[in-house]
Amino acid sequence: MRSRASLLLEREYLQLQTSPIIGMIASPHEDNLLEWMATIQGLKDTPWEGAKYKLSLKFTDDYNSVPPTVTFHTIPFHPNVDKATGRPCIGFLDEPRLWKQSLTVSSILLGIQVLLSNPVLERAVNTDAAEILRFDPSRYWEIVRDCVRISHGPRPDVCSSTVANVCCTPLPQPPPTMDVKSRIKKVPFDDYLRTWTEIATSRACPSSKNSLLESLQFYPSLQRMHYRLPREILEQAIEEQNEEFSAIMFGRFGKLRRASPTVDEKLARISRMKHIYIQESPVQWSPVPTQVSVRSEASRE
């Protein structure tokens, strides 16, 4: 005796035969009504337009109380399609409470078509595709176009492996932080005080003495170590500082001051400035007699 699930599936198959839906083909596999093979195309006016994917649908005798198991044979690179098993992540297929007995084979395939063009990142099962779509959308849609092109090839079943090699390149990660071990260690306070008393350059009071600083003037090698400078540069810097200090405190000696200009020099300078900046008065030119004035004078004569 045929089961209720077989009768329902037979009726759905007849409906698909009499009223086919554009973009999908589905039929039982080898006359087994509980196993179907289907081919869907990407929706028009979407990046998936023109893509062709084969799927299998496996039903149980409890259909249509429970959903079928749907698997992609040509696995697309998609956040909501498991790249290992090929199973799409759709709420009404994964959660029995969301399944409705009114859903049919055609409505299941239509839901998968819509899912291809409208990925849901909150339910991602392909983390690589989800991260690329989230952080580099242009790269993701370029991969989708590769999937569409490969799905038309002689072996569309290689789509998932080929695209995986092309598109699953890890996203650029920030450089790893170096795990620097802490160099802090405990030292006795007496050692700390003695060390910093010797190397410090300030004094608590004018009478305080620093044995290390006093010894630097007798040992040039210690001076270079303390100031981290070559001896020649250190001597030049000290000499420049001494000259600057002397100039500030006592003025600069050894340079002749410029003598004040005399009265004659000032007058000569003023005269030169007049020739440069003060223009001479323009020459008064007499008007040129015109032809009319010449004739009038001739008539008078």
| DSSP structure class, residue 118 | S
Decide the pairing of beta strands 69-72 and 52-58: antiparallel
- Could you please report the per-residue DSSP string of 11-46? HHHHHHHHS--TTEEEEEETTEEEEEEEEEEBPTTS
Identify the H or E element spanning 72.
strand 69-72
CA angle 116, 117, 118 (to 5 degrees): 95
The residue from 89, 147, 159, 167 that is catalytic is 89
Residue where the block lists tokens 């005080």:
193
Classified as helix, coil or strand, 290 is coil
Give residue 198's identity as a one-letter amino acid code.
Answer: E
d(CA 147, CA 159): 6
Paired with 36 in beta bridges are 28, 57
Identify the H or E element spanning 87.
none
Give residue 157's identity as a one-letter amino acid code.
Answer: D
Q: Catalytic residue at 89?
A: yes
CA-based nearest residue to 167, from 41, 83, 53, 72: 83
Residue 42 burial by CB count (10 A; 0-12/13-18/19+): exposed, middle or buried?
A: buried
CA-based nearest residue to 85, from 96, 70, 98, 99: 70
Q: Catalytic site residues?
A: 89
